[in-house]
Amino acid sequence: DAKTTQPPSMDCAEGRAANLPCNHSTISGNEYVYWYRQIHSQGPQYIIHGLKNNETNEMASLIITEDRKSSTLILPHATLRDTAVYYCIVRDLHASGGSYIPTFGRGTSLIVHP
Amino acid sequence: GAVVSQHPSRVICKSGTSVKIECRSLDFQATTMFWYRQFPKQSLMLMATSNEGSKATYEQGVEKDKFLINHASLTLSTLTVTSAHPEDSSFYICSARASRGSGNTIYFGEGSWLTVV
């Protein structure tokens, strides 16, 4: 029961910026947007999260629209090692007394090519 | 950053036997851990939520007697696949929630490949 929509696949040239979109039109006021990625045969890796302000860390930038209905993950200078499936997740008040339990959609398969 | 470690990373077992997978939070205490299963080319499917000191909460369709979860301490949760069958072969991933300010970021282990022959 993922609440996000992402394109199934994207590709990007090495060294260029990769912009991965995510729609979360039903997001509520207290829900955060999280991004994870999963490189083949590894566990998901946390990238970044935000509530309404744009966020930046050493891995990526997260741009959240003013109405919070969509966001974009930006990898400023993509490398071949950034090839992975990228998951956009919103805080899911799923059972367990309101604890945050990440549920995954299909994500975006990003392929970075030389 | 926070580290979650799983062991073993790969295991092969005979059909009918049981296998245990450990999930440890290495530099933080995790009151809640989650177990996922992932089949090839599919997304992660939540199996159960494990709370320290209490019984795990299983997702619909997941057999609690087959997938035994124990969360005996704040840094360790174990998943035991009992009477394993070839259809249980999968990539099993655990995650743990670190309570750090806003958002309660969740960190994932490296995953464990189980092959039942």
Flag if B95 and A46 touch (Cβ within 8 Å). no
The pLDDT of residue A91 is above 80: no
Q: What pLDDT was estimated at residue A92?
A: 56
Q: Give the residue-averaged pLDDT of A41-45.
A: 91
Best CA proximity match to B77, nearest among B24, B5, B7, B114: B24
* Chain B residues within an 8 Å CB radius of A100: 97, 103-104, 106
Best CA proximity match to B93, nearest among A20, A109, A98, A104: A104
Q: Give the residue-averaged pLDDT of B28-48.
A: 90
Cβ pair B6, B94 in contact under 8 A: yes
Q: How far B16 CA lies from chain A's nearest CA (Å)? A: 25
Cβ pair B45, B7 in contact under 8 A: no
Nearest CA in chain B to A85: B43
Mutate to test the interface with A, among B108, B112, B114 (most CBs of A within 10 A): B108
Interval B43-102: pLDDT, tens: 999 999 988 888 899 999 999 999 999 988 889 999 999 999 999 999 999 999 875 444
The pLDDT of residue A2 is above 60: no
Cβ pair A53, A66 in contact under 8 A: no
